[in-house]
């Protein structure tokens, strides 16, 4: 459920960009991000760097397109949003608080966070997402700057990158458990 809430604004943005204006897509996605932040707060969870950052990214680009450059093409809008999300991811790594850590701390118990490979896994997963954001940017750059480059290939690149990162996020912790052994019974969520 968490991964669905995290990805809902991005999926909505991609879908809305196909059927409506950039302004509607951006502001609707900002509203969905804000709703996800509100759900977290209502559940007593922390406000996530990625969620709050994406509210700013979507709303900021929406304001830019509405007030300054209403003729910005859809590929450039997608590129700007992907660059914004990449900036959030890189900033989280630079300040040594990978954005994935906030989600992980709410999903596992205290014992798991003390395991030797926990932070390494967090960094690896965050870098996987960062790589996915870079691939999404590449897809957008190709659609903007390569004449005749099919839009569907750019969308396929973004879809594949995002889904691969989501799959890796669920697969990698299981792989680490299998490779390095299972920690004590009370260290894994749901283990008794």
Cα 50 from Cα 133, distance rounded (Å):
13
Quick: pLDDT tens for 13-65: 988 998 999 999 999 999 999 999 999 999 999 999 999 999 999 999 999 99
The model's pTM is 0.86
Give the other-Cβ count within 10 Å of 38's Cβ.
12
Domain spans in the chain, listed from the N-terminal domain onward: 2-187
- CB proximity list for 18: less than 8 A, separation 6 or greater: none
Which of the given ranges, 41-55, 109-123, 173-187, has the highest pLDDT on average? 41-55
Closest residue by Cα to residue 89 from 119, 120, 131? 131
Give the other-Cβ count within 10 Å of 181's Cβ.
7
Burial bucket for residue 52 (CB in 10 Å: 0-12, 13-18, 19+): middle
């Amino acid at each position: 459920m968490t991964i669905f809430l995290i990805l809902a604004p991005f999926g909505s943005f991609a879908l809305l960009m196909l059927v409506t204006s950039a302004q509607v897509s951006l502001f609707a996605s900002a509203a969905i991000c804000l709703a996800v932040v509100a759900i977290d707060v209502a559940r007593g969870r922390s406000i996530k760097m990625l969620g709050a950052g994406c509210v700013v990214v979507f709303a900021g680009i929406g304001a830019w397109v509405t007030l300054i450059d209403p003729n910005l093409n859809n590929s450039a809008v997608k590129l700007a949003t992907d660059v914004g999300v990449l900036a959030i991811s890189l900033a989280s790594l630079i300040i040594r608080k990978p954005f994935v850590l906030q989600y992980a701390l709410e999903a596992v118990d205290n014992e798991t966070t003390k395991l030797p490979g926990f932070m390494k896994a967090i960094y690896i997963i965050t870098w996987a997402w960062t790589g996915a954001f870079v691939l999404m940017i590449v897809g957008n750059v190709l659609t903007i700057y390569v004449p005749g480059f099919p839009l569907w290939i750019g969308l396929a690149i973004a879809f594949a990158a995002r889904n691969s990162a989501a799959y890796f996020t669920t697969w990698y912790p299981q792989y680490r458990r299998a490779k390095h052994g299972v920690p004590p019974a009370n260290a894994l969520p749901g283990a008794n």
